[in-house]
Amino acid sequence: MGGSITTLAFGLAVIGAGIGVGYIGGKAMEAIARQPEAIGDIRANMLIMAALVEGIGLIAIILAYIS
Partner 1 sequence: MKVLFTSIFSLFLALAAVGQHDDQQAGHEDQQHTESHADHGHHDLGCGIEHHEVTEYEPGPVAFHHIADQNIFTIGPVWFHLPCILYAPETGLSVFSSGKFHVADHHGDGTMAVDRYVIHSGVVMRVQDESFPMGEVEVSGFTGQKEMVNGKEKEVYYVCYHDQLYKLDQSSTADGGLFGGGITSFYDFSITKNVLTMLIVAILLGWMFISIARRYRKRSGMAPRGVQSFMEPIYNFIKDDVAKAMIGPKYERFMPFIMALFFFILALNLIGQVPFLGNPNVTGNLAVTLVLAIFTFIVTNINGNGHYWQHIFWMPGIPFAVKLIMTPIEILGLFLKPITLMVRLFANITAGHIVVLSFVGLIFIFGQMGTVPAGGWGGAVISILLTLFMSAIELLVAFIQAFIFAILSASYIGMAVADDHH
The SS3 assignment for 4 reads coil
Cα(46)–Cα(64) distance, integer angstroms: 27
Q: Is 54 a binder of partner 1 (CB under 8 A)?
A: yes
Q: Is 19 a binder of partner 1 (CB under 8 A)?
A: no
Q: Is 11 a binder of partner 1 (CB under 8 A)?
A: no
CA distances from 14 to 43, 46, 65 (A): 23, 19, 14
Q: Which of residues 23-52 bind partner 1 (CB under 8 A)?
A: 40, 44, 47-48, 51
- The residues that touch partner 1, with contacts defined as CB under 8 A, are 40, 44, 47-48, 51, 54-55, 58-59, 61-62, 65-66
